[in-house]
Amino acid sequence: MSVQHVILAGNSNCRNILSAPQTLTGSWVDIGDAINTMSSYITVWIDLSINDSLNVRLRPIAKQESAGDDYVLPIITGASSLASVDHLGYEFAKDEDQKVTFSIELVGSIPVVQLQVMAVTPGATPGVIERIDVSGI
């Protein structure tokens, strides 16, 4: 999968990790490329078309290498009214089309992060992640 480098708001280390829009399912699935990073934080920029989906969720998974095993990466810091947060992921607060960012604390010791998405209820016309960019890598 190729990675397209983009510039958002003057941030030259922001990149698109999604090569094509991704339809939501009722199970956790990888979204985009794995992110190689040793940063303390990454910020995820998501463009969501909700369609009929309900309770869309996002979670980061830690890996020792891109093809390595998945490890649950607990959420250390919370979001705002944009999402509810438990220790294992984010749930979008509103079931509507939206563009939202999440900052994920990595404490500078996670070499690879894989993002995963799901919808508790995908719906007759499932939602779509139109674009996902990551900065701070």
Provide the pLDDT for residue 84.
61
Whole-Å CA distances, 14 to 8, 10, 19, 44: 6, 9, 15, 9
Ordered by start, the domain boundaries in the chain are 4-135
Residues with Cβ within 8 Å of residue 52, at least 6 apart in sequence = 121, 122, 123, 124, 125, 126, 127
Contact 134, 35 (CB under 8 A): yes
Tokens of 114: 């894989």
Contact 91, 81 (CB under 8 A): no
Provide the pLDDT for residue 123.
96
Contact 101, 113 (CB under 8 A): no
Positions of the chain with pLDDT lower than 50, given as ranges: 1-10, 79
Distance between CA atoms of residues 112 and 39, nearest Å: 10
pLDDT one-digit tens code per residue, 84-121: 666 678 888 789 999 988 888 887 888 999 999 999 99
Provide the pLDDT for residue 6.
37
Domain range 4-135, its CATH number among 1.10.12, 2.60.120, 1.20.120, 3.90.1280: 2.60.120
Whole-Å CA distances, 43 to 33, 51, 79: 15, 25, 12
